[in-house]
Structure 1
Amino acid sequence: MLIISLIFLTGYNNFIHVEKKLKINYFLNKNIIEKKIHNWKSFIKTSSYKYNVDDKLIKSVIYAESSGNPYAKSNSNAIGLMQIKPSSAGVEIYRLNGKKGQPSIQELYNPKINIDIGTAYISLLQKKNFLVSKTKI
């Protein structure tokens, strides 16, 4: 309550102005992304064609989620290049492909399988209209 009172006493507009000054913009160099994901280009191309998902979107997801590290694992147990959670995206894509269960951890560490499942999931989201549009990156 004291903090809120201090904000109003010093002027709310001044507080907001300080917050805006802390905003940082990041710009990614295309060459940096390409170097990080170079080893996975053939898998990206195959999945892009198979699921009709823009390859630039796939590359961006890989870079953002794992920086191209196929052994990446998050605190929430998202695994691999595209940070797939076996119990959510993995289950949905397995079900879509007529399989029961979920992908194993070993499967999700495999770049080819991870990219395939991740791209299939992006395609599924696009078809369900969770993504506003196929964004041009």
Structure 2
Amino acid sequence: MSLNPGSIDPRTLKELLRLHMLSKSNLLSPASGSSAAEESDDFSELLNGLLAMKEQQDIPPAASLKPALMSMPGFISGNPWLQHRLSASRPTEFEPYIQEASRRYGVESSLIKAVIDAESSFNPDAVSRAGAKGLMQLIDATGQSLGVTNPFDPVQNIEGGTRYLSTLLVKYNGNAGTALAAYNAGPGRVNRLDIKDDDDLAAKLHLLPAETQQYVRKVMDLKQKYEAIV
């Protein structure tokens, strides 16, 4: 593969090289028994995909590489370190559904659990005054757009809510606080304030509703709680 350094965003290239070096040091390498050729093939596949996206003027910034990496077939299953980072959190009664959604959409299980805890306190039958339903409190229109036909079904609700959270994380380049603000207040309100990342959020958090301010802090605190593995 011929790679022209000028054809790819320097931040993205830096991130790719970092990942490649991590792979060589076994932090991101496939499970024992996989060959070096397989590692090289995975890396080449990622580079080729990014270069193809560049040709279409749709290359993602480095911060959004994580969701792209997570979506690569076999990438998570072939990397125990990434599996551990995604799934490392205290178990809950909905553990199988949360872990499946975490693997599918590349969202940390601790973040999914924190959102569920803050939204519904793990009550699958919860309904808010605004009509949001289920574990991750999906509005009907949002749920339907995500393929959720029964918001009170834990499997559908967690799958749909995590998918939506994943799209927000991609939209805001992996900035979890900003994604959470958009999850609570809506992307439109966040965009109107020109909040693009967590630095912007810190500077403009006071301009968002008090509920959203409290929500972001609460979810981030809960995320740390669920990362305390027992």
With structure 1 as the length reference, what TM-score do the two structures score? 0.59
- What is the aligned partner in structure 2 of residue 108 from structure 1? 151
**Superposed CA offset, 1:100-133 (max 9, x none):** xxx33xx110001000000000001011117624
Q: CA deviation at 1:38?
A: 2.1
| In structure 1, C-alpha distance between the alignment counterparts of 2:143 and 2:165, rounded to whole Å | 12
- What is the aligned partner in structure 1 of residue 99 from structure 2? 45
| In structure 2, C-alpha distance between the alignment counterparts of 1:56 and 1:121, rounded to whole Å | 16
Letter in 1 for 2:143: G
| In structure 1, C-alpha distance between the alignment counterparts of 2:170 and 2:145, rounded to whole Å | 14
| In structure 2, C-alpha distance between the alignment counterparts of 1:130 and 1:49, rounded to whole Å | 19
Bigger relative CO (Cα 8 Å, ≥ 6 apart): 1
Alignment of 1:66 with 2:120, yes or no, is yes
**Superposed CA offset, 1:32-65 (max 9, x none):** xx5xx72200000000000000000000000000
Q: Which has the larger radius of gyration?
A: 1
Alignment match of 2:167 (pick from 109, 119, 124): 124
- What is the aligned partner in structure 2 of residue 90 from structure 1? 143
Unpaired runs of 5+ residues, structure 2, are 1-89, 178-219, 225-230
Q: CA deviation at 1:93?
A: 2.4
Letter in 1 for 2:117: Y
What is the alpha-carbon root mean square deviation over aligned residues? 2.5
Letter in 1 for 2:109: D
| In structure 1, C-alpha distance between the alignment counterparts of 2:151 and 2:173, rounded to whole Å | 24
**Superposed CA offset, 1:66-98 (max 9, x none):** 0010000001110000001121x224424xxxx
Alignment of 1:81 with 2:135, yes or no, is yes
User: Percent identity over the alignment?
Assistant: 36
With structure 2 as the length reference, what TM-score do the two structures score? 0.36
| In structure 2, C-alpha distance between the alignment counterparts of 1:121 and 1:83, rounded to whole Å | 12
- What is the aligned partner in structure 2 of residue 54 from structure 1? 108
Runs of 4+ with deviation above 3 angstroms: 133-137
| In structure 1, C-alpha distance between the alignment counterparts of 2:100 and 2:174, rounded to whole Å | 22
Unpaired runs of 5+ residues, structure 1, are 1-33, 95-102
